[in-house]
Every structure is written in structure tokens, then in C-alpha cells.
Amino acid sequence: MKVAGNYPAVDTEWIKKQIDSKADMVLIDSRPKRKKYDKGHIPTAISIPDMDFANMTDMLPADKEKLMVFYCGGFKCKLSHKSAKKAIDLGYTNVKVFSAGYPAWKKVAGASGTTAAVAATQVKAGAEEGSIDIEYFKKLVTENPEGVHLIDVRDADEFANGSLNGAINIPVDNLEEKISSLPSDKPIVFICGTGARSGESFYMVQDLRPELKSVYYVDAEITYKKDGSFSVSKP
């Protein structure tokens, strides 16, 4: 693993191994969303364009020791390096850069940027409109969390005290201004503590991003622990 600046640089084989092993990491695409990310990106990656970094820090993990890997458009692209330095300045201690970026990934996985496992994810709906089946949800989070985008819409302080592994935090009060950045490559599942805020988020997406067809929320009470464990019960 080479060192670039004050952070390690990883290669394509390392990235593929992390994705295949379902490693607990946050993979961040620093390229412009509409022009680049939406046209193809690495599976499990979230979009935080470097130019919007300062306005999207609420999508970064609450845990400053969480593994974060930034990438962009290849060796000549500096966006991932800029974002990595910004993350380090915010106090994150486990930051890496995939310098070869999306062009190198395409040579391995193809232009779609999706793996068969992710593309095949089919969500089992619950009884209420937009809800996800509870038993299916528990199994999904345990066995295949990278198959969906988990978005915790509780407040930042609640998120910091515990959430699901792999979840990102977009408080419901900030969702409308972030809604254009929601990804479309995998199903989205909103979570909160009771189903109220996650349900509100679901209906907000229905109104403002109707083209997103695979969006769900957990209509149940969830208790979170800092180690990523959780329990779910119907209210």
C-alpha cells in the first residue's frame, strides 16, 4: 500500500477485495454527481462531489476512525486527494485514496459499475405503503447490507450514539436539500427510531424524486448500539 500525502493509496485489487468481503468501509466518489457518478460508479460508493464537500459533511460517518476511501477519475484527477485532505482536516484518522479511480475499476467490473450481487437485490415490501418487511430487513442488514443504501434520518447526535453498519446520516430536516444526491443504483432504505421520520423521508422522495422507484422505510422501533448491533420491534 503506497502512501500519498498523509494517507495510504490503495489499488484496484484491494478495492475489489473489500467489496467482495463486504468490508465495513465508506467508499466515496468525489466526482461531479450528474456528469460522472450517475453515469457509472463503483458499487457501494456514495456521491460526495469535492466541490460540494463542505455542504455534505453530514453524510460522513460519525465515527472518526471509520475506514473511508475516496476515488475519482484516475491518476490525473485530483478531486479524491482534495477530499481526503479535507476529511483528515475534520479529524478522520482512517482515510485512503484509490488513485486509479473509476477508469481502473471499469477495466475490472465493466462500465455499469454494479456487481451481480448488488444488482440482484430485490426488497420484500411490508404491509404499509413504502415499508420494508421487518424480518427481511433484519436478514438483509445482517447478511447483505451493501445490497442497499441505508440512510439514517435521525439527528446527528442520535446517529453518533449508534446506528447500523454501513448507514449514512442525513437528518430528515436536511433531506430536502440533499435529495438530489440520493443514488439510484441500489434500493434505498430509510431508518430512524420509530418509523415516523423514516416514513416522512419516504414520502418526501415520492414527491421530489418520483423517478426513484426502489425506496423503502422501516416501519418499526429500532434500538441501536455503538457496535452496530440493533434490535427491531413493532410499535
Residue 115: is its pLDDT beyond 70?
no
With 0.85 as the threshold, say if the pTM is over it. no
Q: Which conformational region is residue 23 in: left (phi greater than 0), alpha (psi within -120 to 50 degrees), or beta?
A: beta
What is residue 114's predicted lDDT score, i.e. its pLDDT? Answer: 43
Domains of the chain with CATH codes = 2-109 (3.40.250.10), 121-233 (3.40.250.10)
What is residue 113's predicted lDDT score, i.e. its pLDDT? Answer: 47
What is residue 146's predicted lDDT score, i.e. its pLDDT? Answer: 79
82 by DSSP, 3-state: which? helix
Residue 208: is its pLDDT beyond 90?
yes
H/E stretch holding 231:
strand 230-233
Backbone angles phi, psi at 204, to 5 degrees: -65, -40
Q: What percent of the chain has pLDDT over 70?
A: 92
Residue with cell 426502489: 214
Average pLDDT over every residue of 5-17 = 87
User: What average pLDDT does the chain have?
Assistant: 88
What is residue 120's predicted lDDT score, i.e. its pLDDT? Answer: 46
What distance separates the 2 farthest-apart alpha carbons in the chain? 52
pLDDT class of 119 with cuts at 50, 70, 90 = very low
